[in-house]
A and B are shown apart, each in its own frame.
Chain A
Amino acid sequence: MTGDGTRPSVEALGISKAFGGVAALDAVDFEVRWSEVHALVGENGAGKTTLCNILAGIYRADAGQVIVDGTERDFRSPAHAIDAGIGMVHQHFRLVEPMTVAENIHLGWPETPGVVSQRALVDRTEQFMGEMGLHVDPTARIWQLSVGEQQRVEILRVLARGARVLILDEPTAVLTAKEADDLFRVIRELAASGLSVIFITHKLREVLAVSDRLTVLRHGVREITRPTEGATASEIARLMTGEERVLDVEHRTVTGAPALELSGVSALNDRGIEALHDVDLTVRSGEILGIAGVSGNGQSELAEVICALRPLRSGSITLDGADLASLSVRAVTDIGVGHIPEDRIGMGMVLSAPVKDNAVLHNYWTEEFAQGLTLDRQGVINFAKQLVETARVQTRSVFSTAGQMSGGNQQRLVARREALAADRLLVAAHPTRGLDVNAAQEVRSTLIDKRDSGCAVLLISDDLDEVLLMGDRIAVMYEGRIMGVFDSADADREHIGLLMGGHSAVEAAS
């Protein structure tokens, strides 16, 4: 039953859930109505995803009730939640990569015919896509699709099963602006047709743009549920963070010899296509050079060539005049280059190792921590404790594994560790991606401290606001080329936006 926008579709009463003794949710009440888009807002670790995982039958609550359309439910598995009409699209997609779109949509679906052929699945999928007005090539395999298309497959799959309550967990985190706008349109249409949409996010602009009502969670407790109309971004931000902290960055103009110098650098990406094309860049000691650009325009490869993780095809990279490109990864670290990698889980840490070991990944073998073949265990522990404290990493102890920490805390740890390793150059790739407001500010403060101490900082980010806020100079990348470099004072947002979209300097100026 759908209805008038006032009857509740899902009610959660007094939901509590703890992980390993740490409370993720504490007696949370939450109510969603038919025909509404309900934004669930909060910082990383506020409990948004945990709450939705309970509604979707992934986790079981330690205490509390879930009532769906007036009937109390006890979901023992996602299948039960789907039967009750609740479907969730996860932040990390639950798709089977080697299978086709049609197969993925029909997975685990009782209405899939018992005996199937690829042809039959494709026909059914096409028909269903027509009904929903959402389209993806049904014969494509998942790994061939863009992230936005994969998300559409997830949404289609949930809707195909007759979900009346759709939960989207940070759906825009992986989307381009254009894809996000398309998604918002789809969400509004679904709500207009009578469905409930729960939209998890920590981006305030999205909350205001797309939701009818909003609920703010903070530290596992509900702060407020209210209509979105009349709410302001600063008010929501205050409720999310409990305080308002705005970083004010003073820009500086540094002259003098460049620390990092790239000239004529070209390199291939993993698929063997040229990702960097004749790049010239300089970063001076004591300045932040911000790289603006849409993800996938060579920024990742740029960070990797500098840190000796990717071979050069041509050109040279020097740090204070000394060749960097011919060094090993360890040698690059040794001479004072820190790297906050884009993929903090894959490249930044060893998730199954304890926090203390992750703290010394760079230098466990140096005299500071090792005597001959043995580690100075106490020394490592002390160092890790200090690192955890100064970086304000929340972890149960330095002995628990890195994988047990939330993403924000992992990022804090990596950022601080790399900042310590970086005496001369710090390469920071998307250092605040996925972080909440407070954690992002702390990471930014770390970068500014490094700059002020005379380190050269290369900041790569696809968040233009961040690049404009942080960069003393700003370079724009598009398709592996540097489109222009500006002093902070001369940086014009619109102009840079055009260059990021591939318009040449001349076109942009006219």
Chain B
Amino acid sequence: MILAIIENAFLSLIGSAIPASAVVMLAATGAMLGERVGVLNLGQEGLIGIGAVFSVIAVLSWGVESPWVAMLIGMIAAAVAGLIFALCVVSFRASQVLVGLALALGGIGLSNQLGVNRNGTPIQTLFREINPGGVLDDNDLVSAFLFHDPVVYIAYIGLPVVLWFVLFRTRHGMNMRAVGENPAAADAVGVSVTGWRIFYSVLGAALTGAGGAYMVLSFTPTWSPDIARGRGWVALAVVIFAGWRPGWAVAGALLYGSMISLDTTAQARGWGLPFMGASDLSFFLSMLPYVVTLVAILIPAGAVKLGRRVRSTAAPAALAIPYSREER
């Protein structure tokens, strides 16, 4: 009896954690792409909102019938926002932190405004799970782990493999990393620092936008205000947790996604704390990802303090520092 309840909870946790984490995974990959070339975009939360709301508009107002096209429209909208961000911080060398925060808050506001008449309208154009022949039912472990829609596979397998390959196995990726580590060095050998920083900021924003699109086209699936619910911030934390390595982002996104799911599962099931009389754990649980982030940051920092070099997990050295060639 108790076993069944636990199994049930576990299944629903896994079943919701994987798609919930896919949003985080897409946004984390987008953020990591920018950060690898030295551009820190704190606006992930806003980009998720923009990607989501434009996909909703595409489906509900423009009659788009393919989830892929709707997602593409969300990505383009986020990419435009990413381009504005990139021009501010790369071309005009504005503070990445300030512009990023403006994008986060502005993006949330813009998407809430655009979504105001579409609140709660169910979305019919959805990504479908891949379930060969419907042989397995919804409530077993295999399907909880394996059968999801194609975006999940792209986010967890396709993107990390491609990004890892590009970063560490191609000439171009080597140049990218150099731009993030030491732009003056990259510039001196003829790598276009400005060009690549803008390009990958925009591409990264598009991926984060895809995360937002995925939320409304599969996960929720409806528009509601403040749709990202902190997933953008969690994505930034995942990048740090993963040490800017694409493979580790998968582990990070799953870990963080599970914590987010715990939050909703706890809310749905009314888990409470036996002590202190708290009947609702959801606030504590929604805090968890950030506590884990603090720990994830402290572990490498502590290791450095103890005299061990943890170079491979260090942030790109030029992260968030604008580059100017003629600065003396």
A104 vs B181: C-alpha distance when bound (angstroms): 12
Q: A98 touching B181 by the CB < 8 A rule?
A: yes
Q: A82 touching B182 by the CB < 8 A rule?
A: no
Judge whether A173 is part of the interface by a CB distance below 8 angstroms. no
Judge whether B191 is part of the interface by a CB distance below 8 angstroms. yes
Tell me which residues across on chain A come within 8 A of B184, comparing CB atoms: 94
Number of contacts between A and B (CB, 8 Å)?
87
Tell me which residues across on chain B come within 8 A of A96, comparing CB atoms: 177-178, 181-182, 185-186
**With A19-B328, A96-B182, A107-B178 as contacts: A78 and B190 at CB distance below 8 Å:** yes
In the complex, identify which listed stretch (B128-136, B164-172, B234-242, B263-271) lies at the interface while the others stay far away: B164-172
Docked complex: B172-227 residues within 8 A CB-CB of A: 172, 174-175, 177-178, 181-182, 184-192
Tell me which residues across on chain A come within 8 A of B192, comparing CB atoms: 77
**Cβ 8 A contact of A59, one of B188, B190, B326:** B326
A271 vs B309: C-alpha distance when bound (angstroms): 11
Tell me which residues across on chain A come within 8 A of B305, comparing CB atoms: none
Judge whether A109 is part of the interface by a CB distance below 8 angstroms. yes
Docked complex: B273-328 residues within 8 A CB-CB of A: 307, 311-312, 314, 317, 325-326, 328
Where the two chains meet, the residues of B that have a C-beta atom closer than 8 Å to any C-beta of A are 169-172, 174-175, 177-178, 181-182, 184-192, 307, 311-312, 314, 317, 325-326, 328
**With A106-B174, A107-B189, A107-B191 as contacts: A98 and B311 at CB distance below 8 Å:** yes
**With A19-B328, A77-B190, A108-B191 as contacts: A95 and B170 at CB distance below 8 Å:** no
Tell me which residues across on chain A come within 8 A of B185, comparing CB atoms: 93-96, 104, 107
Closest to B318 in A: A96
Tell me which residues across on chain A come within 8 A of B314, comparing CB atoms: 98
Q: B181 touching A99 by the CB < 8 A rule?
A: yes
Q: B181 touching A108 by the CB < 8 A rule?
A: no
Q: B190 touching A108 by the CB < 8 A rule?
A: yes
Tell me which residues across on chain A come within 8 A of B170, comparing CB atoms: 114-116
Interface size on A, residues (CB 8 A): 36
Q: B174 touching A112 by the CB < 8 A rule?
A: yes
In the assembled complex, the CB of A93 is this many whole angstroms from the nearest CB of chain B, namely: 8
A466 vs B155: C-alpha distance when bound (angstroms): 64
In the assembled complex, the CB of B176 is this many whole angstroms from the nearest CB of chain A, namely: 11
Tell me which residues across on chain B come within 8 A of A157, comparing CB atoms: 189
Tell me which residues across on chain A come within 8 A of B177, comparing CB atoms: 96, 99
A117 vs B312: C-alpha distance when bound (angstroms): 18
**Cβ 8 A contact of A108, one of B175, B307, B311:** B175
In the assembled complex, the CB of A2 is this many whole angstroms from the nearest CB of chain B, namely: 23
Tell me which residues across on chain A come within 8 A of B328, comparing CB atoms: 19, 403-404
Tell me which residues across on chain B come within 8 A of A82, comparing CB atoms: 189-190
Contact with B along A270-288 (1 / 0, CB 8 A): 0110000000000000000
In the assembled complex, the CB of A342 is this many whole angstroms from the nearest CB of chain B, namely: 21
Q: A97 touching B182 by the CB < 8 A rule?
A: yes
Tell me which residues across on chain B come within 8 A of A180, comparing CB atoms: none
Instruction: Please name 21 pairs of A and B residues whose Cβ atoms are closer than 8 Å in the assembled complex, sorted by A.
Output: A19-B328, A59-B325, A78-B190, A79-B189, A93-B185, A94-B185, A95-B182, A98-B317, A99-B174, A99-B177, A107-B174, A107-B178, A107-B191, A108-B178, A108-B189, A108-B190, A108-B191, A112-B171, A113-B171, A116-B169, A272-B307
